[in-house]
């Protein structure tokens, strides 16, 4: 959307709409291909499916930054929209995703709950002139991203696997490995926004129970550990230590509850292990008061 020049009766410049940008992260699952001659230790994480942290980007159809990859977003309709409404509308127009803003009473079944993170402004972030933006962020289950479709002023919409190199720069690679983008190739200051958003979801995954949105209702501790490690790779601890601290530490003993069969016996799964592993679910009543994933 192109901006118009507009001034008040007193000659003061008026901003016709404030931009919003939306960071949508997910953890995708890929079935692990096993060589028929390879011996897999069923007790290790190697038997779990591969998981990747991915982010949704769109290819711009307009100047500036024509044909460059960017975050979905756009301008509010100044006469009729709040920032939240604009974020939801732009996300729908450019990617076909329906979203609910965290805290809204109208809770849809979309599973895409976006929350406002922070505002950005520096004089050179937009070559057209003064253009602050407000960033929204979401961490969603991959099942809600099956209906992606580009629209509006987005020519393409695609999920990219997110990699942070040793020098702390971002690299994006499409799932089919046909498109690779470095952070310097993104539009505007979207690399900065993604850096901040990544820190935000890493904090969320370590201090809240948002991991439940990425897992089945029932899961093993190994699956939980893998999801957390995919988003926060600095969580350097073994699955056994993770299990001990999560299940047996008093400050966290109410976070998870064991799943039971109808006869009251522990419900277990051997999908990813030689020995059946106990299934858990997140407790509905637990509210974390400190980091729930120790030893970061």
CA distance 253 to 111: 27
Residues 24 and 97: beta-carbon distance below 8 Å: yes
- Kindly tell me the burial class for residue 16, based on how many C-beta atoms sit within 10 Å of its own C-beta (0-12, 13-18, 19 or more): middle
- Give the orientation angle of helix 239-248 with respect to helix 221-231, to 10 degrees: 110
Asked if 2 is an active-site residue, the reply is no
**Active-site entry in 156, 173, 175, 257:** 156
CA 254 to chain centroid, in Å, comes to 26
Quick check: helix, strand or coil at residue 205?
helix
Contacts of 124 (CB under 8 A, 6+ apart): none
Residues 277 and 42: beta-carbon distance below 8 Å: no
| Tokens linked to 5 | 């020049």
Sign, CA dihedral 126-131-137-141, equals negative
Helix boundaries (H) for the chain: 83-95, 190-207, 221-231, 239-248
In 3D space, the residue among 170, 125, 155 whose CA is nearest the CA of residue 23 turns out to be 170
- Kindly tell me the burial class for residue 7, based on how many C-beta atoms sit within 10 Å of its own C-beta (0-12, 13-18, 19 or more): exposed
Residues 67 and 60: beta-carbon distance below 8 Å: yes
Active site residues: 156
């Amino acid at each position: 959307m192109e901006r118009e020049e507009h001034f008040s009766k007193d000659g003061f410049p008026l901003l016709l709409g404030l931009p919003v940008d939306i960071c949508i992260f997910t953890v995708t699952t890929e079935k692990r291909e096993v060589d028929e001659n390879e011996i897999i230790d069923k007790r290790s994480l190697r038997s779990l499916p591969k998981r990747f942290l991915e982010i949704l980007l769109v290819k711009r159809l307009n100047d500036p930054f024509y044909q460059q990859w960017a975050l979905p977003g756009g301008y509010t309709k100044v006469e009729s929209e709040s920032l939240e409404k604009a974020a939801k509308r732009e996300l729908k127009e450019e990617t076909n995703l329906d979203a609910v803003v965290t805290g809204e009473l109208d809770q849809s079944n979309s599973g895409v709950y976006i929350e406002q993170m922070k505002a950005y402004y520096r004089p050179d972030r937009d070559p057209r002139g003064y253009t602050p933006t407000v960033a929204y962020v979401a961490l969603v289950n991959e099942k809600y991203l099956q209906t992606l479709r580009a629209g509006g002023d987005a020519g393409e919409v695609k999920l990219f696997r997110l990699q942070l190199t040793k020098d702390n720069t971002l690299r994006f690679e499409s799932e089919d490995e046909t498109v690779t983008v470095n952070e310097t190739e993104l539009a505007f200051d979207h690399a900065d926004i993604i850096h901040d958003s990544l820190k935000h979801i890493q904090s969320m995954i370590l201090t809240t129970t948002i991991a439940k949105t990425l897992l089945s209702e029932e899961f093993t501790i190994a699956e939980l550990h893998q999801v957390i490690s995919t988003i926060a790779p600095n969580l350097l601890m073994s699955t056994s230590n993770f299990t001990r601290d999560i299940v047996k530490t008093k400050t966290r003993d109410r976070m998870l509850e064991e799943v039971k069969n109808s006869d009251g016996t522990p419900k277990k799964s051997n999908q990813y292990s030689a020995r059946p592993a106990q299934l858990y679910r997140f407790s509905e009543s637990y509210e974390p008061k400190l980091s729930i994933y120790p030893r970061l």
